[in-house]
Amino acid sequence: MKSVGFDLDMTLADTRAGIAAVYDELALRVGVFIDSAAVVARLGPPLEWELANWLPAERIPEAVAVFRALYPSIAVPATTAMPGAREAVEAVRRAGGKVIVVTGKNTLDATRTVGFLGLEVDVVAGAVFGAGKGPALAEFGADAYVGDHVADIDGARAGGALSVGVATGLYGPEELRGHGADVILGDLTEFAQWFDGWRSPVALV
């Protein structure tokens, strides 16, 4: 039995349209320019890190509060599952494994997103990034961690999990491989076949 962790944004969920809409509304409310297209092109790091590109430090807590108030009604309904996401989760569960979502998104909005998409997962751990994802993966006992960001490779390493990179975000296969991913998939439509072979390798004669 193999349990697997997944990143959320641009791994399981295409959150670009919803997040862009929230940033556009946030910009109007706080009175600053935010290039939402640039923001969604580099999804992954925590909200506070992104806001630091547009606001002085003293205004970030206010902006975080506004963003999170807007997120459930604007971003969640605009979210769609990435190609192969449902099948990937189902492949793990069908094999008797468990699924954890480990993401930089805050746990409440991550849980809302997973629920909206109807993905059957066991645990959602939010507000962690890079190697900070390691403790959640280790505590859960994840054998592999799947993500689109080079920082997800760091998280897998920190959690003692196999790193599976999916080239559906900012980074292409060569960049993910160069950062040390153990496995590279074009997208999650390739996951089920890979997973079945990984968990039940054919013995060499």
Q: Which residues of 92-121 are buried (b: 16+ CB within 10 A; e: fewer)?
A: beebebbbbbbbbbbeebbbbbbebbebeb
H/E stretch holding 6: strand 4-6
Residue 202: pLDDT band with limits 50, 70, 90? low
Structural domain spans, the chain: 4-14+80-199, 16-78
* Rounded-to-integer distance, Cα 6 and Cα 20, Å: 22
The CATH class for the domain spanning 16-78 reads mainly alpha
Q: What is the pLDDT of residue 2?
A: 92
Residue 204: pLDDT band with limits 50, 70, 90? very low
* Rounded-to-integer distance, Cα 59 and Cα 51, Å: 9
Question: pTM value?
Answer: 0.95
Q: What percent of the chain has pLDDT over 70?
A: 98
* Rounded-to-integer distance, Cα 7 and Cα 46, Å: 13
The yes/no answer on whether domain 4-14+80-199 falls in CATH 3.40.50.1000 is yes
Give the model confidence (pLDDT) of 11-66 as tens digits: 999 999 999 999 999 999 999 999 999 999 999 999 999 999 999 999 999 999 99
Q: Are residues 185 and 164 in contact, defined by beta-carbon separation less than 8 angstroms? A: yes
Residue 140, pLDDT > 90, answer yes
Give the model confidence (pLDDT) of 167-180 as tens digits: 999 999 999 999 99
Residue 84: pLDDT band with limits 50, 70, 90? very high
